[in-house]
Each structure stands twice: as structure tokens, then as C-alpha cells.
Amino acid sequence: MSRRHTLGNVAVALALVLLFGWLCTTVFALLGTQTDWSKAWEYRETLWRGWWMTLEISLAALVGSVFFGLLFMLGQRSPLVVVRWTCRAFLEFVRDTPLLVHLLFGYFVIFAPLMSRPLGDRGWDDKWMIGVLLLSVFEGAYLGEILRGGVESIPKTQWESARAVGFSRVQIYRYVIFPQALRRVLPAMAGLFVSLIKDSSLLNVIGVAEYFYNTKNFISRSYAGLEGYVPLALGYLILTLPVAWLSHWLEKRFRHET
Amino acid sequence: MKLEVTDLTKRYGKTIAADGLNLSLESARVLVLIGPSGGGKSTLLRLLGGLETADSGRIVMNGFPLDPQEDALQAYRRRNGFLFQQFNLFPHLTALRNIVLPLEKVHGHPPAQALAMAEQALARFSLLDHAAKLPSQLSGGQQQRVGIARAVAHQPDVLFLDEPTSALDPEMTAEVLGLIEKLAAAGQDIILSTHEMGFARAVANQVAFVSAGKIEELAVPELLFTAPKSPLCQKFFSRVMRY
């Protein structure tokens, strides 16, 4: 690094620290008197339950989105033209409308009238289940496209070769195409899973008691400010950062292969 | 091997790759297909190997007619071996795994036995040192040899080779041709297409000259290479033998 660059870096870093420090002190000066961390401590159980719920939703929707993603991918590769077109149209619809609309419309118009009663009768949390289902379909639509791109990036010669060896169609996917395709799309998939975790916060609109929902309630009940929003951001970071790191690691690892 | 092909036709759009092709072979160990590029060698080989289905016509291999149903063709492919010009191996698997996997999953051998068979196949062609390498770490010639080892590991009825050396330099070509010769000498039934005329002559029991989707001439190599009857075949030789 040249002397000029070192000086430049130091100057910019200094300016950023000053700016950030000024922002923090100003905000704290304005809110400091009202900030009471004991409030957050008081509500710790609700917050913890919410955070845990978000983790559960994310894991369940992760599995669900893989299921729907595979379904959409295979549907688009179906030999039946009607299946292909239906899949294509559905994916286009899902990807071109906001998740918020899916959740509100899907829950209040479609699934709640259909499923709430029977699910509730069995003692199951219908909001949770329908929310996870809708989130899975939404993320699955994106995943389906990622997987399709991966599968289509495998050269035709591999299909030929696998057929010549005597593999069945299922075996070709399982032993030849997927292992190669997954390597190529893993970084993109990890990125999608980060989005999925963040998108789960939208489930609050149908009343699922996840992390955002519980924090929001805590804030409106206790008039909390910083002591509500800071844990909120940190809580999501704890979930997303490991996945983001994993994604970078995978990207680095597979960049040199093939 | 005994082979009977009647009125075989295959079209790709407007191109006619097999045009009412007939071929009758009482007994031959090695059948070599030669002829100009685009003349239908590959298509014929793929039809014979059960990788494509004909639009019409009939193939009878060793007394059994080929059933065009996908299940029957898959079973047929499993009994035989096939090798393409290049990119035969699965790049995410080592040379050894490339051979073990089909033995386990296609032919149903238990893992230990599959491993032993695969190692035997590699050892047979002096490839054991490369067992743990990925295809990208092997030379083109080595890749083709591993491909052949995979194609013969389950002792196929017939080995189909589609221009196995077209993508290789002369040295690697020699290395692969030597291996094919060895297989033929060991009694393996082989049908192969090639542009290597010297090799065709040395290894073939029967040579078929394929042009414009038809068998122009079928004869033993001594006859076909010295005194071809068909004018097309004569013209072909006069062109390829010039240099």
C-alpha cells in the first residue's frame, strides 16, 4: 500500500468514526433519558419466544421451500406441455407479486376459510402452519428458478453419458445431475435462505407471534425505543450471519472447482 | 455377434440420418463403421446401442429384436457398453467412483464387490495409479481409457465406441487404440465408428462404409480397403488416403 493510500484510508476511517459517533451521541442524547434497558429485560420471555418462533419458521420454511423448489423445477422440465406452462405461469405470478400480498390474500381469502377450523380443532396453530406454507411457496418459486438454472447448466453430454451407462431417469438426476448442479447453485441458495429468514418477519401481518410481532407488541406496550429495536436487529443478525458466512465460504470453495 | 438391420430410417427434422438402411452380419467380433462425416455413422451406432429409437425399421441383435420401449431399451443399454467421442466421465467423481457407481446402482453389485470389479477393470488397463483422480486431473487419453474401463467393467455383450479417438492428439489416439485392440483380441464384441483407417483395417472383422444414411458396402477389411466396389467408397478412399 502506498503512503497516499494509507493516508486516504486513515482519513476516511476517521471521518466515518466521527460521523457514526456524532449520530450515536445525538440519538442517545435525545432518547437517552427515556431508554430503559430493564424494560427489555422484563419482556425477555416474550422476546425469546418470538425469536425461537422465527427460528422454527425459518427452518420449517427452508425445508418447505426446498420441496416446492424441486417441484417447480421438475414441473418446468416435465414432458407434458400443460404442466410446464402451468408451472411457468404460477412462478411468474408468485415472483411478480409482493410476499405481503400473498400472505394477506393467501391467509384471509384462501386458507383461513379452508383450513383454520380443522387445524384449530386438532389444536394446531393454523396461522403458523399457513404462514410457513405461504412463505415456502414464495421462496420455493425463487429456489425453483435457481435449481432450474443449475440443472440446465449441466451439459447434455452428461445426460447422454448417464443414459449410456444404464441409469434410469431418477438415478440420472440423483447421481449425475444434482451433485453437479448443486455445487453451482449453493451460493445462490444460501443467499436465498438469508432472504427467507428476513422475510419471515412479514408473517406478523397475519398474526403469527414471531420475533418481529412480539417485539412490536413489546414496543407499543412499553413505549420502548432503542431497547426494542436494537435487540430486534441483533436477533435477526444472529440468524442470518451464519448463513451468509456459509454462503461466502461455499462460494470460495467451489469457485476453484470444475 | 450376429446382426440383422432392416429398412432402418431415422430423421432429425429435415435431415435423414438413416435412410432405409440394411445390414446383415452372420458373425463378426469387430464391426467397424467408416465413411464421411455426416454420413450417418454416429446415428447408426446410437440406434444399434439403444440410445435412439428409429422412426421405422428393425434391428435384431444376436437373435433378439430391439424393443423401442424405453424400459426395454434401458435394460438393453445395461447389458452393453457405450463410449462417446469425449466427456464420458462424470466430472464430480473420481475415476474409481465413475466405475463403481454404475456397478452398484445399475448392476446391483454389493459395494465391496463393485469396488473389487472396478479396481480390476482399472488394473487391466494400467490405470490403477489414477483411481483417486478426478477426470479434470487426467489427460484426454487417460479419460477415454477410464471411459472404456467403465464401459467394459460389467462385461458387456457388445461394446459400442463412437469415434473414440476423434478428440485426441496422435499420441493419445495410439494409447486408446492399443487398448481397443487388446479388448478385441480378448474376445470382446465391438462395434465402432472411426476415421482411423489403418486402425480400422487392423482390428476389424467386417468394415461397413456408411454414406448418406445407407450402408454402401460391407466387406472384410482386406477386400474393402484394397478393392472397394462402390464408387462412393472408392472416391472416399481416394480423398482420405491422399496424404
Q: Would the pLDDT of B35 be above 70?
A: yes
Inter-chain residue contact B90 with A162, CB threshold 8 Å: yes
Question: Would you list the domain boundaries of chain A?
Answer: 41-255
pLDDT tens string A77-110? 999 999 999 999 999 999 899 999 999 999 999 8
Q: Is A258 on the interface with B (CB under 8 A)?
A: yes
For A202-237, the three-class secondary structure string (H helix, E strand, C coil) is HHHHHCCCCHHHHHHHHHHHHCCCHHHHHHHHHHHH
For residues B175 and B206, the answer to whether their CB atoms sit within 8 Å is no
Determine which of A159, A160, A161 to mutate to test the interface with B (most B C-beta atoms within 10 Å): A161
B83: chain A residues, CB-CB within 8 Å: 164
Q: Which of B199, B207, B213 is nearest to B227 (CA)?
A: B207
How much is the ipTM here? 0.87
Q: Is residue B148 part of a domain?
A: no
| Minimal C-alpha gap between B233 and chain A (Å) | 31
CB-count burial class (<10 Å; 0-12, 13-18, 19+) for A121: exposed
| Minimal C-alpha gap between B30 and chain A (Å) | 20
For residues B81 and B152, the answer to whether their CB atoms sit within 8 Å is yes
Inter-chain residue contact A161 with B102, CB threshold 8 Å: no
Q: Is residue B213 part of a domain?
A: yes
- Residue B239 and residue B130: Cα distance in Å, rounded? 40
- Mean pLDDT, range A32-57, rounded to an integer: 86
Q: Which of A88, A86, A135 is nearest to A107 (CA)?
A: A135
Least reliable range by pLDDT among A133-147, A177-191, B116-130: A177-191
Q: Would the pLDDT of A186 be above 90?
A: no
B105: chain A residues, CB-CB within 8 Å: 167, 171, 175
Q: Is residue B86 part of a domain?
A: no
B92: chain A residues, CB-CB within 8 Å: 179-180, 183, 258
Q: Would the pLDDT of A33 be above 80?
A: no
Domain span at B45 = 1-80+203-243
Q: Is residue B119 part of a domain?
A: no
Question: Whose grid coordinates read 458466512?
Answer: A245
Instruction: Write b or e for each residue in A29-47: b if 16 or more Cβ atoms lie within 10 A of its Cβ, otherwise e.
Output: eeeeeebeeebbeebeebb
Q: Please give the pLDDT value at position B83.
A: 92
| Minimal C-alpha gap between B225 and chain A (Å) | 32
The H or E element that residue B65 is part of is strand B64-65
Q: Would the pLDDT of B55 be above 90?
A: yes
Question: Whose grid coordinates read 487391466?
Answer: B124
DSSP A51: H
Inter-chain residue contact A161 with B101, CB threshold 8 Å: no
- Residue B15 and residue B10: Cα distance in Å, rounded? 9
For residues A191 and A249, the answer to whether their CB atoms sit within 8 Å is no
Q: Please give the pLDDT value at position A257.
A: 57
Q: Is residue B121 part of a domain?
A: no
Strand B158-162 and strand B3-12: the pairing is unpaired
**How many separate domains does chain B show?**
1
B78: chain A residues, CB-CB within 8 Å: 166
CATH 1.10.3720.10, domain A41-255, yes or no: yes
**Cα within 13 Å of Cα(A36), Cβ side:** 11
**Residues whose CB falls within 8 Å of the CB of residue B222, separated by 6 or more in sequence, listed in order:** none
The CATH number given to whatever domain includes residue B53 is 3.40.50.300
Determine which of A154, A163, A165, A170 to mutate to test the interface with B (most B C-beta atoms within 10 Å): A165
Q: Which of B25, B26, B42 is nearest to B34 (CA)?
A: B42
- Residue B232 and residue A254: Cα distance in Å, rounded? 52
A163: chain B residues, CB-CB within 8 Å: 51, 77
Q: Is residue B170 part of a domain?
A: no
- Mean pLDDT, range A22-45, rounded to an integer: 83
* CA-to-CA separations, B106 to B156, B181, B239, in angstroms, rounded: 13, 27, 44
pLDDT tens string A194-204? 999 999 999 99
Give pTM, 2 decimals. Answer: 0.80
Q: Which of B72, B16, B78, B18 is nearest to B45 (CA)?
A: B18
- Mean pLDDT, range A178-191, rounded to an integer: 88
DSSP string, B5-33: EEEEEEEETTEEEEEEEEEEESS-SEEEE
B101: chain A residues, CB-CB within 8 Å: 175
Q: Is residue B53 part of a domain?
A: yes
| Minimal C-alpha gap between A161 and chain B (Å) | 6
Length of chain B, in residues: 243
